Amino acid sequence: DKSRGETCQEAAPAGSELLGCGSCYGAESSDRPCCESCKDVQDAYRAKSWGWPGNNAIAQCRNGAAQTVQIDPSLPCGAHRGCDSCLAANCAWCIGSRRCVEDKAWMCAGENDHIGNVGVVKSCPHRDEISRKREARKREEMLAIEERQLASRQESEILQEAKNRAEQRLAERQQLELERLRGENVEADKKEAVDEEEIKRRAANFGDGQKDPYGVLKLPKDSQMTDIRKAYRRLSLQFHPDKISDARLKEAAQKAFMDVVAAYEILGDPEKRAAYDDLGGQDQAQFNTFWEWEMYGKKESSNDFYNGETLISKLTESLWPRRVIGDAIWLVEFYAPWCTACGHFVNTYKTIAKALENDDIEVGAVNCVKEKGICGEWFSIGSYPSLMLVGSAERGTQQIYAQSQSKDPEKIIS
């Protein structure tokens, strides 16, 4: 008060560090609008029941001010707003979220984010250290984002390549079948007349061969491979454009024919058919792309002797109850990839499958290394390769072809 001849220094509270009408750092009140000293700020925080943020965070408490942090033991960890007071209260400080929590290992985002007695870091860092760590985290996050974006682009490119290969492979197969069946006699296989409306309907739904192969071939999902082959032959000849006498329908018939070939490309290969059935749902519409992608990255194809063999079904525990059903009789080989005799028998078994193509006997194979349940628990296979005639559970058929018997294809078939 200059009217009384007092100087500012003389009017200052004893023991305080005068810095003018300073900030109370959010703890202002009507009774205390300014905090002129470190003690004022501490009192203001105490009045609000706030945790002390540490002397370094308060300008009035730096440069020679008392460095003692006043801690209220009744305050929970979450009330402390600074690292120093947080640690003084035996709590832990999370650097990234800037919050005080219980000193438990899982409370922060990893050990590098945790400051406390439990963590690796046990003292509060300086501001420049916090800045360095924050920048390091940003760089790591940016690098992770770039890596994810690169992986996403690579996966998209691989999927696009798979889609292109699938489309090219199907187009080549359709053209080959178109040429192959040109000279076939349709009357020998024709079972029903195909009317104009049926051709137009199929042409209008072009593409269903990949989306709904069972529907295109007019077959139930539990059909045997012999039924699939017969349906394909009958429908492919019926819709072959060269077999349609009406010139107006040839273009529509070619679309119907292409769909029949596309459907058989999926169902005519036992392995592809099994994968299609397992895929299920809307994903089946993109099955050819999925299959091409699976084959592109497959690592264990050499473990199975009959990959890609359309006349030999690979049987697994999950497929067995869906394939070996009804009145079907199956000739099944049980083999092991490491078995030399099994490797020598592969061509013989393929010859047998070809000879039985038009008979009512299905041909299958079980890889006993992968399907130990079938070979061990179900049939107790003791040597490889083993051949067995098997029927469904309802029929109960089972006949073992002895190891000592001839491996000549004609004798096995007879």
Residue 135 lies in a domain: no
Domain coverage including residue 37 = 2-128
Distance of CA 101 to the CA centre of its chain: 36
- What would the pLDDT profile of 224-281 be if each residue is shown by its tens digit? 888 999 999 888 888 888 878 788 888 898 898 999 999 998 888 888 888 888 876 5
Arithmetic mean of pLDDT, 277-297: 68
- What would the pLDDT profile of 388-404 be if each residue is shown by its tens digit? 988 866 665 567 766 56
Which region holds residue 12: left if phi is over 0, alpha if psi is between -120 and 50, else beta?
A: beta
Residue 352: what pLDDT?
92
- Counted domains in the chain: 3
Same domain? For 111 and 212 the reply is no
Same domain? For 187 and 286 the reply is yes
Residue 142 lies in a domain: no
Residue 329 lies in a domain: yes
Arithmetic mean of pLDDT, 121-136: 76
Residue 136 lies in a domain: no
Same domain? For 343 and 370 the reply is yes
- What would the pLDDT profile of 52-70 be if each residue is shown by its tens digit? 777 777 877 876 544 444 5
